[in-house]
Chains A and B, each alone.
Chain A
């Protein structure tokens, strides 16, 4: 059976020009034009980030091309959902307040030995590579991002989960002193910290990517520095940012959005154009940085990698 043979998004070569976007961006930063705040943030990052020398990493040939133009860095780093800072899309200034060194990640739960590992030690132990992924937000817009990071499966091997581990649960920082959205007020009553999760089978797939950089540099804070997840076949809210804890659990974790709005945001959240969000259609998506509105693909076009994960699970609400 090979119904998903077509590589959904590996479209004609004419669409693929990530390098020129890189060059443009470098020219943009070097010339010091454009959004001043961004240029400043970019420079500060390059100077102070102890991992700067690790970038750019070599490109994984299987994911060197996402079938669409890479979204310009200026858009990607300034148009973000990150409710820890505020509920608008413009969080990049406020996100700069987040201290990302020292930063460590706790690995616990159903593992041979719980550990806490500093981010720079973790980076040394993982194999960094670059992958260009399509990102589909549940709000029906999308972009293409050249991430740098390591496979989640490699991280799972490092963590050595026990056989009792059935799920991987990720947790974000909870820092009311720096993150405006976590300050006392209505939003302090939200279920912080942000939590997301995948099954152990999903975590073993080759797609899930632990991201530490983008566009050949350390990750900007607005995009989830110093460590975030990206699950390209799921709606964006699953791709948790600012990870401080990874727990292996026997019970299914309940995500932040699932706690807030279970009728709209579920555990699986696999992209499917035929299953509408209760308040809007998911049939198509607006591509950031273009005027295009294009049809959305099942599993965001990554079905050949992940469809098998869900064989026989038709009873589950796989698409919300």
Chain B
């Protein structure tokens, strides 16, 4: 099975397009580097950018199964592995850039990873991604048999560690980390109900609202615990209009869009059935 073929060996447009798409952030990064757009500390900026893409890839990977269950898009299963591997790739790039930024002084890299908790956490996440990566080949899946699934649930913990690392490295502004946390909460909540329950506007909308509240609450908790910003002020910031669109609102909007889309899909399918029955 190549990155562009499905299980039966036929060319898959979906899989090829996704495969190509996974390289776009890398190409964009290289382009920014070549044009000097990364600024006076290009390795530093590239480290941040690759870290952000690692988290995004992990969250996208974890979104695939719920999307499949909600919309019945069975073919998405075809791309989950490669998005997951891209997460590992960007994580390794991120780590390599960090090593390059430390002038390849591996002793110093090791001592920094041991000394700074946020790096220790990041390292644990990279380690986990590599373990999942090497156990994702067809041979490994067959070999692990019924253990494969429980092992790959570790992905949830990796996502959690990656997002925690994201929060901890931020210099006060944890907006992007909070947003990624919100999406992570959303895709995890979709896993709670069974498929029949999940496929209802009310469940989907309810999950969106719950995810938004959790995002707002946990974001405020972070600022309260780790910074001198008052948690209440962070919560209130969600209600300041017009203002910057806050993570909880983005999560709510995304969740409600999923609910609406599902509703649209169902209505459309029902009408098609009626038309067919009438014909």
Whether both chains belong to one complex is answered with: yes
Q: Using CB atoms and an 8 Å cutoff, list the residues of chain A in contact with chain B.
A: 75, 78-79, 83, 87, 89-90, 139, 141, 183-191, 259-262, 276, 278-281, 286, 288-289, 293
Evaluate contact between A288 and B171: CB separation under 8 angstroms: no
Evaluate contact between A289 and B229: CB separation under 8 angstroms: no
Evaluate contact between B40 and A75: CB separation under 8 angstroms: yes
A100 vs B44: C-alpha distance when bound (angstroms): 32
Report the minimum CB–CB distance from A290 to chain B (whole Å). 9
Evaluate contact between B169 and A279: CB separation under 8 angstroms: yes
Evaluate contact between B228 and A261: CB separation under 8 angstroms: yes
Evaluate contact between A293 and B229: CB separation under 8 angstroms: no
Evaluate contact between B41 and A288: CB separation under 8 angstroms: yes
Q: Is the interface of A mostly helix, strand, loop or mixed?
A: loop
Cβ-based interface call for B241 (8 A) = yes
Cβ-based interface call for B242 (8 A) = yes
Task: Return the 5 tightest CB-CB contacts between A and B, nearest first.
Answer: A189-B233, A185-B244, A184-B240, A184-B243, A87-B173
| Chain B neighbourhood of A79, CB < 8 A | 39-41
Interface string of B212-235 (1 = CB under 8 A from A): 000000000000000111100110
Cβ-based interface call for B236 (8 A) = yes
Evaluate contact between A260 and B243: CB separation under 8 angstroms: no
Evaluate contact between A188 and B229: CB separation under 8 angstroms: no
| Chain B neighbourhood of A189, CB < 8 A | 229-230, 233-234, 236-237
B245 — nearest CB in chain A belongs to which residue?
Answer: A185
A262 vs B244: C-alpha distance when bound (angstroms): 26
| Chain B neighbourhood of A279, CB < 8 A | 116, 118, 168-169
Count A-B contacts at CB 8 Å. 72
Evaluate contact between A185 and B227: CB separation under 8 angstroms: no
Quick one: given A87-B171, A259-B228, A260-B172, are A185 and B39 in contact (CB under 8 Å)?
no
A25 vs B103: C-alpha distance when bound (angstroms): 30
Evaluate contact between A184 and B233: CB separation under 8 angstroms: no
Q: Among residues 33 to 50 in chain B, which have CB atoms less than 8 Å away from a CB atom of chain A?
A: 39-41, 44
Interface string of B240-275 (1 = CB under 8 A from A): 111110100000000000000000000000000000
Report the minimum CB–CB distance from B150 to chain A (whole Å). 34
A278 vs B103: C-alpha distance when bound (angstroms): 21
| Chain A neighbourhood of B227, CB < 8 A | 260-261
Report the minimum CB–CB distance from A149 to chain B (whole Å). 24
| Chain A neighbourhood of B44, CB < 8 A | 286
| Chain B neighbourhood of A293, CB < 8 A | 103
Evaluate contact between B118 and A188: CB separation under 8 angstroms: no
Evaluate contact between A188 and B243: CB separation under 8 angstroms: yes
Interface string of B105-141 (1 = CB under 8 A from A): 0001000100110100000000000000000000000
Interface string of B80-94 (1 = CB under 8 A from A): 000000000000000
| Chain B neighbourhood of A188, CB < 8 A | 237, 240, 243
In this complex, the member of A90, A183, A185 whose beta carbon has the largest number of chain B beta carbons within 10 angstroms is A185
Cβ-based interface call for B68 (8 A) = no
Cβ-based interface call for B175 (8 A) = yes
B223 — nearest CB in chain A belongs to which residue?
Answer: A186
A141 vs B42: C-alpha distance when bound (angstroms): 13
A259 vs B44: C-alpha distance when bound (angstroms): 27
Evaluate contact between B243 and A183: CB separation under 8 angstroms: yes
| Chain A neighbourhood of B168, CB < 8 A | 279
Report the minimum CB–CB distance from B251 to chain A (whole Å). 15
Evaluate contact between A262 and B228: CB separation under 8 angstroms: yes
Contact of A183 among B116, B173, B244 (CB under 8 A): B244
Report the minimum CB–CB distance from B168 to chain A (whole Å). 8
B170 — nearest CB in chain A belongs to which residue?
Answer: A87
Sample (27) of A-B pairs whose CB atoms are under 8 Å apart: A79-B39, A79-B41, A87-B173, A90-B39, A139-B171, A141-B41, A184-B237, A184-B242, A185-B237, A185-B240, A185-B246, A186-B234, A186-B237, A186-B244, A189-B233, A189-B234, A190-B229, A191-B228, A260-B172, A261-B228, A262-B228, A276-B115, A279-B118, A279-B168, A279-B169, A286-B41, A293-B103
